[in-house]
Amino acid sequence: MKSGTLLVIGGARSGKSAYAEQLVAKSGLEQLYLATARAGDAEMEERIAHHRARRGPAWRVLEEPDGLEAALAKNAGAECAILVDCLTLWLSNLMLAGADLTERTERLCRTLAILPGLAVLVSNEVGMGLVPDNRLGRDFRDAQGRLNQAVAATADKVAFVAAGLPFYLKGAP
C-alpha cells in the first residue's frame, strides 16, 4: 500500500503497533512516526522507550499529543508514510482537555479524506471487554467506539489485529 488510509485496531498488546510499523517500513516511503503519547510517569516513559527501540533510526518522529489534524496535513505527502500511534492516547488527551470530541473527530476524518500519501493509524478496540465501573471509563469507551467507527468509515482499509495476526475488515491486505 503506497497511498491511502489504513486503520489498525486491536486490544492492548495485540501486536497492532508492530504490524503498523512493519507496513510503513515496507512501503518504501519516508517514515514519519506521529506520536500522541505524553510521558506522564515512569511506566509510560518505559513504553515509549520500548517503541523507540523497536522502530530504530530510520523513522522521523514528531510528538503531537493533541494537534493531530494539523500535523497530518502539514507533514503528509506522496513520498511519505505517516504512522499515527495512537488514536486512543490522542482521544484521552482531548478528553482531559475538555475538547469537543465530535468536532475533533469530524475534523480528523475530513483531513484523512484528502491526505496525500499513506497514513496508518493505530487505535485500541476497547468495547469488547468489561463495562467500566465508573462514568469516566464508560464515557471514554463510548467515545473511543465512536472515533473508531468514524475513522473506519473514512479509511480505505481497516485491519483488526489479534495475537499479532491481522484480519482485514475493510479492503484487502
pLDDT of residue 48: 74
For the chain, what is the radius of gyration of the CA atoms? 15
pLDDT of residue 40: 77
Q: 3, 11, 51, 77: which is the annotated catalytic residue?
A: 51
Region at 164 (left for phi over 0; alpha for psi -120 to 50; beta for the rest): left
- Joined grid coordinates for residue 134: 465508573
Q: What is the C-alpha to C-alpha distance for residues 78 and 99, in angstroms, rounded to an integer? A: 31
Which stretches of the chain drop beneath a pLDDT of 50?
A: none
Question: In the structure grid, which three cell numbers stand for residue 166, read together?
Answer: 491481522
Q: What's the CATH number of domain 4-170, 3.40.50.300, 2.102.10.10, 3.40.50.720, 3.40.980.10?
A: 3.40.50.300
Rounded distance between C-alpha atoms, residue 168 and residue 173, angstroms: 7
Q: Is 51 a catalytic residue?
A: yes
Helix 101-113 / helix 68-75 crossing angle, nearest 10 deg: 10
Can you state the percent helix, strand and coil of the chain, rounding each to 5?
45, 25, 30
pLDDT score recorded for residue 51:
74
Residue 121: strand pairing partners: 7, 84
Chain mean pLDDT for the chain: 93
pLDDT at 92: 95
Whole-model pTM: value is: 0.93
